[in-house]
Structure 1
């Protein structure tokens, strides 16, 4: 078998998440079916991040084993040909050795969460952002985010169905940017870590939005972190604002 690493971009709106499931349209399932049309004996199609329903990616990475060796451009073009009716694009394909594993070889994952603040409803971007109608205080959000950087027990920010063996994770960076656009402001919250718990980023964003709009003091983020109590967390931020942007190896 010949192993290839694929860099993948997709709009998660029409899919029930990344991971293949019976009788449900998922990103992994659709891509694997496309690969099988190109190489019927392919095996082991595995992604670096298992994004939820509605979550997007501009830098997902997956590996696959093909029975026949091809040049990388042929692999990329062939898979994209069979994906043409879906909002998915294989950006690149590269040969890797058999020890490479898209998920377990990853050294760092990067996610971006996008919030669009404006008084009127969104049109083109309604499935690409979390829409709010109020201005957010970035300084207060950054103050709150600093409590979460580093190694902590993130039980408060962990889904009840999370399969990770431990709630302890290390967040390397959280930074927040803003840009004025078409009568509104787009906020980008950027996260990096070796790995994340299920719903961790969206849980954190939900809390930082509370701080940004003035409903919570920044210090409350530290309070709920130390509580290790999921019920203290703010409501989960919508999946449509989350993007898997890059995997580092």
Structure 2
């Protein structure tokens, strides 16, 4: 009997090339241990389903980006009228990840309707970007790399920035919420340049952060900040380029109002060459939200699929 499942899982993205498998023409079902999707499919194959367990991600992230709660759906089929128990799938995958030293943790699996789509049925996604700025009163001759706590390595973006002003950063961030064309903030790709880049951002919240370190005294060298961004979906590199632009605002290279102009004139030419895309280390996919009733298994359900380019960060 065939059944569809929704998986809730976390991962540390440092070792992965990306969350999604490389796209190879006419080779959809192939092993790819360098991606979150690929290595999870390798684990699911060990259940010996009658069909290939295509692990369909709700959100695509680049290499180095982490996830606290991502989702994906997949189908499994076995002989007879029985289905795979969701608890057993969760246990099996976590055992596989642990045994092979893979930085993925399966939180739970549930059975969902056969037409459920983890990507298209998501009503919102929430991301968090963590960064830390070296305090101004520290000696300039000391290299920033010697001050980063080991517990935060590849978990937060550390910077030494002169004249960093968090209030300017917040002022620039106020222009992002709303329905905009984010072409300026998208990584240019000839294959996708003709797709529309209009997205709805619900909120952008800039707040003080905290160190996750237990190394005594090391976290006192930095001021930690967090940027929480919630929206329906995102274009490729959108959040990291938003952070890069706001960093330029914070150090006075562009005024906060320039963010509004970059949104009003959506073009790759509106992106300033001196602005750097924020590195993936500080980016976390925090949550993917669904309507609660959509998570209840129904033998017959209405097709809710709609045209949407999906989420890619």
Normalised by the size of structure 2, how large is the TM-score? Answer: 0.75
User: 1:151, 1:169 within 8 Å by CA — same for their partners in 2?
Assistant: yes
Instruction: Give the Å deviation of 1:113.
Output: 0.9
> Gaps spanning 5+ residues in structure 2: where?
25-31, 136-143, 212-218, 291-313
Greater strand content? 1
Instruction: Give the Å deviation of 1:133.
Output: 1.8
Partner of 1:80: 94
Instruction: Give the Å deviation of 1:212.
Output: 2.0
2:267 pairs with one of 221, 226, 229: 229
- Counterpart CA distance in 2 for 1:153 and 1:105 is 22
Question: Which secondary structure state, in structure 1, belongs to the residue aligned with residue 46 of structure 2?
Answer: helix
Pairing of 1:194-209 with structure 2 (within 5 A): 194-209=232-247
2:252 pairs with one of 214, 237, 241: 214
User: 2:44, 2:53 within 8 Å by CA — same for their partners in 1?
Assistant: no
Partner of 2:71: 61
User: 1:8, 1:91 within 8 Å by CA — same for their partners in 2?
Assistant: yes
Partner of 1:34: 43
Partner of 1:146: 174
Question: Which secondary structure state, in structure 2, belongs to the residue aligned with residue 43 of structure 1?
Answer: coil
1:172 pairs with one of 189, 202, 220: 202
- Counterpart CA distance in 1 for 2:121 and 2:237 is 22
- Counterpart CA distance in 1 for 2:254 and 2:103 is 38
Structure 1 moving runs of 4+ over 4 Å: none
Pairing of 1:86-125 with structure 2 (within 5 A): 86-118=102-134, 120-121=144-145, 122=148, 123-125=150-152
Structure with the greater alpha carbon radius of gyration: 2
Partner of 1:238: 279
- Counterpart CA distance in 2 for 1:191 and 1:205 is 11
How many equivalent residue pairs? 249
Partner of 2:61: 51
User: 1:174, 1:190 within 8 Å by CA — same for their partners in 2?
Assistant: yes
User: 1:38, 1:79 within 8 Å by CA — same for their partners in 2?
Assistant: no
User: 2:241, 2:276 within 8 Å by CA — same for their partners in 1?
Assistant: yes
Instruction: Give the Å deviation of 1:24.
Output: 6.3
Normalised by the size of structure 1, how large is the TM-score? Answer: 0.93
C-alpha RMSD of the superposition:
1.9
- Counterpart CA distance in 1 for 2:267 and 2:248 is 17
User: 2:130, 2:209 within 8 Å by CA — same for their partners in 1?
Assistant: no
- Counterpart CA distance in 2 for 1:128 and 1:180 is 12
Moved more, 117-126 or 145-154: 117-126
2:188 pairs with one of 156, 160, 174: 160
Instruction: Give the Å deviation of 1:54.
Output: 1.1
